[in-house]
Chains A and B, each alone.
Chain A
């Protein structure tokens, strides 16, 4: 823990990041209501997923310090995330088609 603080964000940055996360969350909730009025459909999903992804990356990168971390954990971590998204998307697409509805 001795060499770390040089590279880690300062408290001021932590607060700024939190403010950014808060703004993004407000956007998310706003999108939910906008979509209710306008029925954006796929566009809404795209925007909301992008916002969630952004928040995800910010927390992992700055709060979990993965951005400042040695390459090894970030590789494992990314591998887990990508594997999970990829595999379960395949499962869902396979099942979405096969499913006998109602």
Chain B
């Protein structure tokens, strides 16, 4: 008991029954599985209220700017491409390429966010649709707001990795795993937007 120093790592793969997937990666998958329930509740709430008529105020589906949102959706979609290219560059040891694609991904995410800020501003100032206009407006802002928050967190994580890579001249193996985790998260945010774009923007009609 006197000489318990530190040599054997806590989790050594050959000592354990395991899925063979890195703990952090499995954890991310598990967490993302639960996020479906989170966004599902928000989307369901929007669907419940989006065409329930008889109340005051502007409904979001009356004022959607479909061309604008199509472009920003496309921007977010393409950020998934740049993210996998970053991953691919790192797996080939191309640290410069990784950095470039990382930055591109964060930049596309930021463009998407900028679009959302612009959209919200337009809705509030031009069409006077606020959180309190009607339940449909409340649901729209809460849903897209929470999605935007997710994107913002993703952008911050991507920029952190980019910064680390710039300062240290590359990403270590452990940071490579971080890149994978951020990637999973990023793609998940993207697929949620794929659903939102269709269900909330393209298919939603104002109450008759």
Q: A1-B173, A72-B26, A80-B34 are in contact. Are A21 and B77 (CB under 8 A)?
A: yes
Interface centre among A4, A22, A80, A95 (most CB of B within 10 A): A80
Q: Dominant SS at the B interface?
A: helix
B81–A14 CB distance below 8 A = yes
> Is there an interface contact between A70 and B21, defined as CB atoms closer than 8 Å?
yes
A87 within 8 A of B: yes
Task: Choose one: A9, A31, A56, A85; the contact of B194 (CB below 8 Å).
Answer: A56
Q: Is B107 an interface residue (CB 8 A)?
A: no
User: Assuming the A-B contacts A56-B194, A101-B52, are A84 and B36 also in contact, with contact meaning beta carbons closer than 8 angstroms in the complex?
Assistant: yes
When A85-B40, A92-B44, A95-B48 are in contact, do A63 and B83 touch as well, CB less than 8 Å?
yes
- A76 CB to nearest B CB, Å: 4
Number of interface residues of A (CB under 8 A): 51
Asked if residues A88 and B66 are in contact (CB atoms below 8 Å), the reply is no
Q: Output the nearest chain B residue to A82 by Cβ-Cβ distance.
A: B36
Hey, what's the 0/1 contact readout for B184-202 against A, CB within 8 Å counting as 1? 1001101100110111001
Is B146 in the interface zone, CB < 8 Å from A?
no
Is B110 part of the contact surface with A, judged by Cβ < 8 Å?
no
Q: Interface residues of B, CB < 8 Å — how many?
A: 55
**CB atoms of B81 and A28 under 8 A apart:** no
The residue of chain B having its C-beta at the shortest distance from the C-beta of A85 within the complex is B40
Q: Is B43 in contact with A55, judged by CB distance below 8 angstroms?
A: no
Lowest 7 A-B CB distances belong to which pairs? A102-B54, A80-B33, A84-B40, A73-B29, A52-B198, A88-B44, A84-B36
Interface on B for A, CB 8 Å cutoff?
Answer: 19-21, 25-26, 29-30, 32-37, 39-41, 43-44, 47-48, 52-54, 66-67, 70, 73-74, 77-78, 80-81, 83-85, 88, 91-92, 173, 176-177, 180, 183-184, 187-188, 190-191, 194-195, 197-199, 202-203
